[in-house]
Structure 1
Amino acid sequence: MRRSLAVVAVAVVLLTGCGTDENRDQEPSAKPPASSGDAVDPTASAPVLEGAPSSTARWPDGITARLLKVERVPNDWGVDVAKSWAIIRVRLEVANTGAAPVPVDGAGYIHLFYGVNRTPADGPTGYAYPDPEEEREKGLTSKNPTRIVAGSKVVFTQSFKVPVAELGSLTVSAEPPAEEGFRDPYVFVGVDKVLTGVK
C-alpha cells in the first residue's frame, strides 16, 4: 500500500512539473524582445525644438535664432491682397557663435503657420517699390548675404498672407542655414501674442 502511494505521488509530481513546463512555453515572455539598431541612452536630454516667441533657438554648431518682430503691415504694401487677408512680416535674427562660417543659399528659412492645425501660410508676398527708401521701409523680404561668418548676425525677413480670421493662432518655424544638409527646425508657438501693427 505504501509503495502504491509513493508511485502515485511521484507520478503527480512528474505530471505537474511537465504541465508547468508546457504552460511556460505557451505564455508570452514577460521581457520584451531585444530590438536591433542603435542603442539609445534614456537619460540623455532631447534637444529643445519648441518654445515661446521670446525664446532663443540654439543648435550644436553654434547657430542661434530669435524672433525680432512679427508685424501686420498694410495690405497695399503687397500686390493684390484682398481685405479678407493680412500680410504678416516676420523678422528673424540668426547669429553664428560657432567657429566656422555658414553658407546662405537664398532659400526660405522662415515658415509661418496659422490655425490649430498649423496650415502653411502663403509666401512670399510680392511687392514693387521704385524708391530705395520706400523699399527699405516697406521691405517684405530681405536681401540675404552669401554667408554668416563666426561672431556675426544676420536678420532674415519674410512675409506671408494669412486669413484675417486666423490671426489669433500663429506659429513660426525657423530653419536657419546649415553648413551641409538641412537643420532641425525650431518652432515658436503663440506668436499671435506678440503680433504688432504697422501703419
Structure 2
Amino acid sequence: MTNLNEAAQAMTALTKLPGLVLVTDHGIGDTAVATGCRGHSLPVVRLGVDLMTGPESIRYAVLAHELAHQELGHTTRVLSSILERASVAAFIMLACTQGAVWALDVYWWGSPARNMVMLLVLGVLWAATALTAKALDRRAEYEADRRGVELLNAAGFPGLDYMREMVADTSKDEAPGTRWVWILDAHPSSSRRLAAL
C-alpha cells in the first residue's frame, strides 16, 4: 500500500462502517476531524492539507485515529456537546429564575440565604456537568488511539510506532505551562496519551 486512499480503504474494510469519504481540507492546517455528512450516510474524515506534506506515518496514524472515532461513534462528540450546551442553558435559565426569586425574596421577605444556596448548588451542578463532558471527550481520544493502533496493525502497518509518532507530533501544538488545566481540556496531553498507549 503506497497511498492514502488504499490505506483508507484497507482500514475502513476492517470496521463496521459502510464506507468512508476522505476529504483534504485547506482550512484546518495540520489537524483532522471526523464528521458526518449531510445528504448521505457515509462517515467523513477531513484531513488538513498540511498533513499531506508531513511524514506518511503520521498521516496514516491520523487517518486511523479519526476512522476509529467514526467506528466508535465519537463523531462530533455528540454526548459531551449536548451535555455542555444543556448545562450552560440550564444554568442560565435557572440562575435568571433564581435571581428573580431572590430579588423578590429580598424585597418582600428579607431572606435571600436559601436562594443563594440554590444558586451555589446550580453552579456546582453546572461545573460537574461541564467537567463530565470534557472527561468523556478525553476518554474518546484514548479509545480512538487504541483502536487506531489496532486498525493500523491489521492493515499491515506498525500501528504502535505510527500512533506514538503522531501523538508525539501533537506535543508541538500544546501550550507550555498549561498542564495543570488538563481537566478543562477535551484532548488529553500528549504525554498522557503516550503513557496510555
Higher RCO structure, 1 or 2 (CA under 8 Å, sep 6+): 1
Structure showing greater radius of gyration is 1
Same fold (TM over 0.5): no
Please report the TM-score for the alignment, with normalisation by the length of structure 1. 0.20
Q: Where is the helix percentage greater, Structure 1 or Structure 2?
A: 2
Please report the TM-score for the alignment, with normalisation by the length of structure 2. 0.21
